[in-house]
Every structure is written in structure tokens, then in C-alpha cells.
Amino acid sequence: MLDRFLRWETVLLVLCVGVFAVGSASDGFGEQSNIAFLLLDYSEVALLAFALLPIVLTGEIDLSVASTLGFCSALTGTLWDAGIGFETIVPLVILAGVALGSVNAVLVVRFGLPSLAVTIGTLGLYRGLAYVLLGDRAVTGFPENYRPLATDSIAGTFVPYATVLVLFVGAAVAVLVHKTTTGRSLYAIGLGAQTTRFSGIRVDRIKFSLFLLSGGLAAVASLIYTLRYNSARADNANGMELVAVAAVLLGGVSIFGGRGTVLGVATALLAMAGLRNVLFLDDVSNEIQNVITGLLLILSVLVPVVFKPRRTKDAPLEPSVADAERRTGADPGGELRRDHQGV
């Protein structure tokens, strides 16, 4: 199983290197300011993708992440407008994000509704609430002592502060997913929720917390977004959920749950950020950029399907036909039922 992931991540890495190689031909690609811009440009997407990954591993989805970001941004603007200090706004906004996540969580976990439907609903709902707060106004003038955190690089390097945060979140998610007992449970839920429940794992509780985490991370992303553009608007990050989902899928995470790695998602993010940057530098229009990203995504799900037959090396272990019989669903109802008394 692991080899297969590694293979996909190798493909991604090659893609990534390819993008950057092509990029280096473009004017100004290699400059520190451009690399910093490239990284910053994808910091919110990366945070949303890292929030999505554990959810998708369990076989659920959260499409409301970008709308949560939008709402949190609008809330930041409203509070700032009302003269509240930024130190107070940060925890309030994160709390608001978690609260929005908890609405998803309650609907999906407590009421057992399909997360796809629920979060498409809240995608509209949260964006709508953002407009209720701010209308089509933009709030600007965020404090100069905070803005550099979202725009500047660490002195003497090309690494933006925001990227450090993204890396930290990525690492934390990697530990959660790959090293902890909860991580083990995530994969188990995605591949067999019922068995997981029968194994004494609190499936509902885990899913619930993932939606809270997702809301919280979207709120953090909203703070970066708002400070980076020095603009709080209701339509901030409109449609970004699709970019984040694309990164997750391109990263080799199965939409059905149970398969995928943080490394894969991280590599996919880097490749997508690089690609976008290259296309931007080469003056490729936004529309064509979308076309290319779209094709890449389709390719990413197509390639593993096309090359699947190679997997037959996983032949049944015992020299029996039991496996072949089992695959057809002809479950033998038990051997020699009630026959053996005389044996």
C-alpha cells in the first residue's frame, strides 16, 4: 500500500521539479521576491487543504472552508470597523471559525447528513452571512504592526512569516495523520467506518473535531488573507474551496477516504503554486490558467486509473480460489452446516 503512495508522490515530485524547471526559464522566476510571492500566494489554499485532508481521509468533505474564510474576513472587518483592538479580534475570529465548523459537525455527525450536501449548503449560507455583515463594502487600514506578518519575509531570507505558519500547520497535520492513534483511526474510518466503530473507536467524536479544526484553520487563513490584501471583504477567497479540494485530490488523496498523505498534498500545493506563478509570469490569462489547472486535476485522477492493472502483483496469498470466489460476492454460508454430528 505504501509503495503505491510513494509512487504517486514521486510522480508529483517530478511534476513539481518540472514546473520549477520550466519556471526558471521565465524572467524573474528565481528571484527571492518572486519565490516569496509564490509561497504567500498559496498560503491560504494550503491551510484550507491541510484542514480538508483529515476530513477527506474519513470519507467526508467540507466545501464550506472558503466561505468560512470569507465570513471570518467580513467579521474581522466589522469588528475592526467597530474599533475593537486587533489583539481581541484574532481569538474572536478563530472562535467564530470553530463555531461555523461546529454547525457542519452537528449536521453531519449528530444528524448523520451527507457532508457533501451539508457543506454545499453552508458554503452558500456562510458566504451569505458574510454579505449580511459587510455588504459589498471593503474594510481596510489594518494595523501596520500586524500586516508584515502576512506580507513580509523573515529578515535576511526569502521565507515569508506566513509560510512558516503554513509549514507548522502542515507538520502538525502530518503528525496527527501519520503518527497518532487518531491518525490511524482516520484511515480506518475512511476504509471501514462500521468496523472502526465496532473496534471501540469514537468515530463520531473524531469526525466532529475534524470539522471544528477545519473551521478554526479557515479562520486562521482568513486572518492571513485579510492582512495580506489589507482588505476585509465578503467575497474574499470566493471559490477557493475548489482550489483546495483540487490540491487534496492532486495530492493523491482518495475522495472516498482512507488513502492519501500529507507529503502528497504538500507536493501538490507546491506544484500548483509554482504552475500558477509561471503562468502568471508568462502573462497567460486567468482563463487559460484555470484550463491548465483543471486538466492537471483530471489527469491526476485519470493516471492512477489507467495504470491500475499493474496492481495484480497482489495475488492471493494462499494457493486457493477462495479469493476469486470471494471477489464475486459468493460468500459461502458456512461449511458443513449441521452435518457433523456423526463425524
Partner 1 sequence: MQAVSALTAKVPPLLELRDVHKSFAAVHALRGVSLALHPGEVHGLAGENGAGKSTVVRVIGGEHRPDSGVVLVDDAPVGFSGPRDAQRHGIAVIHQEPTQFPDLTVAENVFMGRQPVRSFRRIDRASMNAKAAELFESLGVPIDPWRVTRGLSIADQQIIEIGKALSAEARIIVMDEPTAALSTVETERLFRVAKRLAENGAALLFISHRLEEMYEICHRVTVLRDGALVTSSPMADIDRDTLVRSMVGRSVEQLYPEQTGEAGAEALVVAGLTRAGVFADVSFSVRRGEIVGLAGLVGSGRSEVARAIFGVDPLDAGQVLVDGERLPLGDPRAAIRAGVAMVPEDRREQGLILDLSIERNATLPRLGAVSRWGLVSRAKERSLAAKWADRLGVKRRRLTDPVATLSGGNQQKVVLGKWLATEPGVLIVDEPTRGIDIGAKVEVHALLAELAASGIAVLMISSELPEVLGMADRVLVMHEGRLTEELSKEDATEESVLQAATGGAS
Report the alpha-carbon distance of residue 1 to residue 6 in Å, rounded: 9
Contacts of 73 (CB under 8 A, 6+ apart): 130, 222, 225, 226, 232, 233, 234, 236, 237
Nearer to partner 1, 83 or 332 (CB): 332
86-105 helix and 203-229 helix, angle to the nearest 10 degrees:
140
- β partners of residue 160: 153
For 134, the grid coordinates are: 459587510
Task: Provide, rounded to whole angstroms, the least separation between the CB of residue 318 and partner 1.
Answer: 5
Footprint of partner 1 (CB under 8 A): 1-2, 175, 179-185, 187-188, 191-192, 194-202, 258, 312, 314-326, 328-343
Task: Provide, rounded to whole angstroms, the least separation between the CB of residue 255 and partner 1.
Answer: 15
Task: Provide, rounded to whole angstroms, the least separation between the CB of residue 185 and partner 1.
Answer: 7
Nearer to partner 1, 88 or 320 (CB): 320
Nearer to partner 1, 124 or 198 (CB): 198
Report the alpha-carbon distance of residue 150 to residue 224 in Å, rounded: 5
Nearer to partner 1, 46 or 177 (CB): 177
Task: Provide, rounded to whole angstroms, the least separation between the CB of residue 169 and partner 1.
Answer: 18
Task: Provide, rounded to whole angstroms, the least separation between the CB of residue 215 and partner 1.
Answer: 22
- β partners of residue 138: 233
- Look at residues 294, 50, 272, 273 and name the one whose alpha carbon lies nearest to residue 172: 50
Q: Which H or E run contains 132?
A: helix 115-134
Nearer to partner 1, 137 or 178 (CB): 178
Nearer to partner 1, 168 or 198 (CB): 198
Task: Provide, rounded to whole angstroms, the least separation between the CB of residue 176 and partner 1.
Answer: 9
- Look at residues 211, 216, 208 and name the one whose alpha carbon lies nearest to residue 98: 216
Report the alpha-carbon distance of residue 50 to residue 7 in Å, rounded: 21
